[in-house]
Structures are given as structure tokens and as C-alpha cells.
Chains A and B, each alone.
Chain A
Amino acid sequence: MIEAVNTLLLLFMCVTAFTIVRQNNLFAVVMLGSVFSLLSAGMFVMLDAVDVAFTEAAVGAGISTILMLGVLSLTKSRERVTFGTPTLPILLVLISGAVLVYSALGMPEFGSADAPIHQHVADRYIEQSGTEVGLPNIVTSVLASYRGFDTLGEVTVIFTAGIGVMLLLGLRRRTTERGAIEEPPAPGEGHMRHHLVLRVTAKLLIPFILLFALYVQFHGDFGPGGGFQAGVIFAAAFVLYALVFGIKNALTVVPEWVTRFLIAAGVLLYAGVGVASLFMGGNYLDYGVLAHEPTHGQHLGILLIEFGVGTTVAAVMITLFLSFARRARKKT
């Protein structure tokens, strides 16, 4: 049964990938890309990797699609057609693919118990995580505590991406942004005017999405979830608001200086927890010294850094969306 579902999902992925390659309408390609991300999330679910499936569903199938649409509004909508038969590229691809397959044959079997990773590292994490960290979700304890440095690097990467987009796409230095009195548009302007149904549904849904984002943030200790996923869901709620009610209203709700501050504040919180552990006598990012008891310290440390991660991710996604959306105005 499991094999049948796996085979079908992989078959769908092949079909989708083939269609992506053959389509030259970029819009359809973006939609197919979201379908592909969904199928990947399904595969991760079949492989029992719940946190990864969560992130893939939220990021790959949701926010990525919206951001790519934002990019599409800045470029053409059809792919440039190239002529001639690409014999050399096909040959290169086939040779490198064959080399990869050949080298993969030398690796241990997928999931075999005597692979090196299952002998030393994974065993220690699985056995010791309960006593050392004390969280039911081992993925969170590995991500946030055992491999805390890696996660700090990831948050910094997201922070850098946000800064890069802000540099490239520019912050609009219009005079109206310096605190001058620009009235927010009347409720009937600046958004999807005739879409009463959408407005009402959005008003109903947005509070629940925000609440769900908070649930995912703090439930990451016990089930799938954590900072990254929560940040993305929070940004998705904001994106919905911006789509239905207009960018100006959205900027009134969350002004630019707030997102700029939050992007940095999340990373600062994460790194600050490490420095606090230094001051308390432990190593950098050693949460055990943050409280009177090591496991309490671990819980507190993980809570704080996950919150930092969620803040930065949410603020960066909001900045990305708003940068692309506002840029599109210039095209007309």
C-alpha cells in the first residue's frame, strides 16, 4: 500500500516536472511549481518527516508561489524561445546523471540500520534528548539545541536575504513616507472593489490564521512546528490582508519601520541568548546555564530562539512581498 502511494506520488511529480519543462507560459509554470511543491510535501509525509513536510507545504506551495507571481509582474509572461537542438547539454546532463547514479550505488541502503549516521550521531540524539533537553519533539531539540549554531546560520541567511531584497528593490523614499499626513484610502478604494465576499471572508479568516501561527510557534516543542513555519504562516495572513485590502492599508497596519526593526530584532534575540549564556558561565548557546536546572534552561532557551526565528522569518517574508508588490506600480 505504502509503495503504491509512493509510486503514484512520484509518478505525479514526473508528470508535473515534464509539463513544467514543456510549458512556456510562465504563469502556468508557477502554478505547476506550486503543485510540485505540494507533491513533495506529500512525499515527505510518506517518509515520516513531518516538520519538513510542514515547512514545504507552507513555504514551497504557499509563499513561494505568491512571491514568484510578484516577480512575474515585473517581467514578461512567456519564456524566451531558443532554437536549435541542444545536443551538448543533453550529453552533459546524461553523463553527470550517470555518474551520480553510479556513485549513489556505493552508499548504504536507504534507511539501513548500519549506515554510519545511525550508529553514532542519531543514536545519541534519540537516546539522550529526553534526559538532556526534555522535549517530546526530537526534531526541535536537535534543531534548536544540539545544532543551534546551524539554526543561527539559517536565521542569518534569511536576514541577509531580506536585506538583499531591500537593497536591490529599494525602499521608496517618497515624501509621503516621512510621516506626512497622508490619509489612508477610504474603505471603498484601493482594493478589490467589488469583492464583498472576499472582504468578509478575509476579515473572518485573518484572526484565525494569526492565532494558528502562534499555536504553531509554541507547539513546536510537542508536534510539528516551530519558528520557521510559524513565521511563514504569520506572513501569509499579512499577505492575505494586503491582497484584499490594498497595500496602503497594509502599510498602515504594519509600517515599514516595524518590519525593518523586526528583521533585525529576531536575529538579535537569537544571538543575544547565546551571549547571555556566555555571561552566565556556559559556552555560547549553551542553554543549560540559563535557569537553575539544565532542562528548564533548555526549555527557556529553545522558546526564546524559536521566537526569534519566527519573528525574523515573518518580517522578511512580509518585506519581500511588499517590495515586489510596490515595485509593480512603476510598470504602469
Chain B
Amino acid sequence: MEMVNDIIVWALLLTGSVFAIIGGIGILRLPDVYTRLHGAGITDTMGAGLILLGLAVHEGFTLITVKLFLIFAFLINTSPVSSHAVANAAHGAGVRPLLDDDLETDKATGSGDPA
């Protein structure tokens, strides 16, 4: 039983770490604010969720697991709202998403914002 527990924790932590790194690479390499939101969103929900779940499974049923679930609940509630707020603010300020036409017509790789 210990072995199964360990394997589950390993798998969860590893998957969570992989998601976190993928999100990190995404926020570096993606071309536009709106696409980078996706990268950040992956780390905040999947990466964080799986790592916290792995820690919780490792711990068993104690107060610490309750706290970990609380952290997870708060993160799940607030990270999508933050992404929404950033996208809303960026759109309201006039940052335009990078479209295919922009890439074709002028070879500028800028993110299309007016400044």
C-alpha cells in the first residue's frame, strides 16, 4: 500500500511539474498578451492543482490536507478571475491581439499594441 501511495504521489508531482514548466515556456515563447494568458493559466490551475494534490495524498488525512485543499480552492477561484481581469484590462486599453493578417502583411512580430 505504501508503494501505491508513493507511486501516486510521484506521478502527481511529476505531472504537475511538467505542466508548470510547459506553462513557463509558454509565457516566454508565445507572441501576444492574450496567448500568454493561456500559458500562465496552465501553471496556475493544472500545475498548482496537481502539485498540491500530490502533497495532500502524501500527507494523508490531517489538518495539513485541509489547508492544502483550502489553498487549492482559493487558487482555483482566483487565478481564472485574474486572467479574466488582465484580458479585460488589456482589451479595454487597446491592446489588439496578434492576428494572422498582421503576421503576413507586415513582418513585424510585435504584439500589435499601439505603443
Contacts and interface: CB of A to CB of B under 8 A. Distances in A.
Within 8 Å by CB, do A and B touch in the complex?
Answer: yes
Contacts of A204: 77
Contacts of B88: 194-195
A201 interface: yes
Contact of A195 (B74, B77, B78, B85): B85
A119 to B, nearest CB: 36
Interface string A200-231: 01001100100000000000000000000000
A197 interface: yes
Interface string B63-103: 00000000000100110010011001000000000000000
A205 B77 contact: yes
A198 interface: yes
A204 B78 CA distance: 10
Contacts of B85: 195, 197-198
B84 to A, nearest CB: 5
A205 B78 contact: yes
Contacts of B77: 201, 204-205
A323 B85 CA distance: 25
A177 B21 CA distance: 53
Contacts of A201: 77-78, 81
Nearest to A204: B77
Contacts of B84: 197
A205 B76 CA distance: 12
A156 B18 CA distance: 49
A263 to B, nearest CB: 30
Interface in A160-212: 194-195, 197-198, 201, 204-205, 208
A162 to B, nearest CB: 29
Nearest to A209: B74
Contacts of B81: 197-198, 201
A197 B84 CA distance: 8
Nearest to A194: B88
Contacts of A194: 88
A208 B77 CA distance: 12
A310 to B, nearest CB: 21
A205 B81 CA distance: 12
A195 B77 CA distance: 15
B24 to A, nearest CB: 14
Contacts of A197: 81, 84-85
Contacts of B78: 201, 205
A73 to B, nearest CB: 16
B1 to A, nearest CB: 28
Nearest to B73: A208
Contacts of A205: 74, 77-78
Interface in A278-308: none
B95 to A, nearest CB: 15
Contacts of B74: 205, 208
A207 B63 CA distance: 21
Contacts of A195: 85, 88
Nearest to A208: B74
A208 B73 CA distance: 11
Nearest to B84: A197
A201 B73 CA distance: 12
A198 B84 CA distance: 9
A198 B85 CA distance: 8
Interface centre among B77, B81, B85 (most CB of A within 10 A): B81
9 contacts: A195-B88, A197-B81, A197-B84, A198-B81, A198-B85, A204-B77, A205-B77, A205-B78, A208-B74
Interface of B: 74, 77-78, 81, 84-85, 88
In the A-B complex, the 4 residue pairs with the smallest Cβ-Cβ separation, listed nearest first, are: A201-B81, A197-B84, A197-B81, A201-B77
Interface of A: 194-195, 197-198, 201, 204-205, 208
Given A201-B78, A205-B77, A208-B74, 13 more contacts: A194-B88, A195-B85, A195-B88, A197-B81, A197-B84, A197-B85, A198-B81, A198-B85, A201-B77, A201-B81, A204-B77, A205-B74, A205-B78
